[in-house]
Structure 1
């Protein structure tokens, strides 16, 4: 591994954000590490080009739950490193195989410059593959993820992908939104995307009571910005 592959940002006392700065910006996603009283929560796991578990500040012996908001390559690359793997039931078959048709790993391989710096010596983009990571717990809308001092509710937020989901701490207003909503270009033309469904999801999101949104890409934002993004999408995506 060339140096430190991951970049870390401290967001709060219990929350850090990681990303892979040398990855093409389309595939450069956020990895969230939320430290709970009884367990740590990892939300999405990047491209799998570095060893994520080694980069995290984990407490030996403390349980770690790795949650994938959906099965696209930029969110599941290091999922196999964790024993407890949670994700949307609807996309469970994709996690078991990590097939290109579900993850779009092939789209990364064909980029002219998928990384600005290779993660290892003699790295070959054509050999990029994802390790199967069957879910150990399948999540449905309304389920909860309990880390002791926080309970996060699972929200089914389809449109970007059929099983896309988010996690909301309804008490604190902390919202991990995955690729359902973030600041930047929203992708709704992938083979498994559905624009009409996405509009319904944005209508739901616009009604959520949140304090801060931590998306799958880009910087975090507040509830006012969240509603602006959702309402703009609804307006501009109509046929």
Structure 2
């Protein structure tokens, strides 16, 4: 049985980018050369379709997120960048942190949820249905055992809004963007006109409903405020660098997403549908629905 999300074909948007041949992709990771001298790493054969980014500088590189941990990620990163690598999390959700334990330390926003997960790790049960075989495009990869899977603890170094990662000839500024999760951050590369958005925005289903220990507590007011704040950067951006599905999106989507959330908050959504089972996680799917917009959607809780 196949999951509804897969059609056995590569996503057409990957054709926009130059694929980088690697020895340590393990038939799981794919690497692409992106605008602004960035390497995008994706896991296209699992429902989450996670992206993370290796951002090189003259003195060190920055790795934004470490993926789902389905296959070892460190050999790939060492192949792509044999020098110093600073690891940063966009937020603490499972699909962005599962490779953290492979690195000496990971920078993340200072938040109680983050501290707990960093100290304790996560059991496989915290992933809900995401380890079921139906969530994998071609079944489980060789050597992967869902029964023994867990996310180990890792050493977290806290960061705050306004902190700057200096890579030598490249600087990335931290913007705290709560909403999807309270600890969410974006990284602004002003010189290269890039904004790394984490899960605050990407061209897919945005989650605006979490309220549990595994994913934190969602805030509509915070989410709207984050989009409004980041929309001020639109004139200074060429690309949004996104952590799911297509690697890039037009900067104007920040303002469109703000307007979408405002419409949901006001009960003015015109185009919605029942939510796909893959989006339900640990919450009651019957209480969720999905509002459709131009190039993205929002999963949220029904009010009645």
Q: Give the TM-score band, short-chain normalised.
A: 0.7 to 0.9
CA deviation profile, 1:71-129 (whole Å, cap 9, x unmatched): 1111011111122311111123322222359x9423423x45232332234x3323221
Distance in 2 (alpha carbons) for counterparts of 1:106 and 1:126: 13
Matched ranges for 1:12-23 at <5 A: 12=35, 14-23=37-46
Distance in 2 (alpha carbons) for counterparts of 1:183 and 1:233: 15
- After TM superposition, the structure 1 stretch with the greater mean CA deviation from structure 2, 225-234 or 201-210, is 225-234
Q: CA RMSD in A?
A: 2.3
| Equivalent residues of 1:65, 1:82 under 8 A apart | no
Q: Aligned residue for 1:204?
A: 229
Change (3 A) 1:12 1:173: closer
Distance in 1 (alpha carbons) for counterparts of 2:49 and 2:34: 18
Question: Given the two structures, how large is their TM-score scaled by the length of structure 2?
Answer: 0.70
CA deviation profile, 1:16-74 (whole Å, cap 9, x unmatched): 111112212xx2211111111111111111100111121233343x2101111111111
Could you tell me which runs of 5 or more consecutive residues in structure 1 were left unpaired when the two chains were aligned.
none
- After TM superposition, the structure 1 stretch with the greater mean CA deviation from structure 2, 67-76 or 190-199, is 190-199
| Equivalent residues of 1:159, 1:197 under 8 A apart | yes
Equivalenced residues, count: 232
Q: Aligned residue for 2:140?
A: 118
Q: Aligned residue for 1:216?
A: 243
Q: Aligned residue for 1:83?
A: 104
Is 2:220 aligned against 1:183? no
Query: Residue 186 of structure 1: SS of its match in structure 2?
Result: strand
Q: Aligned residue for 2:169?
A: 149
Match of 2:153 among 126, 129, 132: 132
Could you tell me which runs of 5 or more consecutive residues in structure 2 were left unpaired when the two chains were aligned.
1-23, 212-216, 268-304
Is 2:116 aligned against 1:93? yes
| Equivalent residues of 1:92, 1:134 under 8 A apart | no
CA deviation profile, 1:135-166 (whole Å, cap 9, x unmatched): 1x211111111111111111110111110111
Which of structures 1 and 2 has the bigger CA Rg?
Answer: 2
The offset of 1:217, in angstroms, is 1.0
Distance in 2 (alpha carbons) for counterparts of 1:28 and 1:222: 19
| Equivalent residues of 2:25, 2:76 under 8 A apart | no
Question: Given the two structures, how large is their TM-score scaled by the length of structure 1?
Answer: 0.87
Query: Residue 173 of structure 2: SS of its match in structure 1?
Result: strand
Match of 1:237 among 265, 268, 276: 265
| Equivalent residues of 1:64, 1:84 under 8 A apart | no
Q: Aligned residue for 1:8?
A: 31
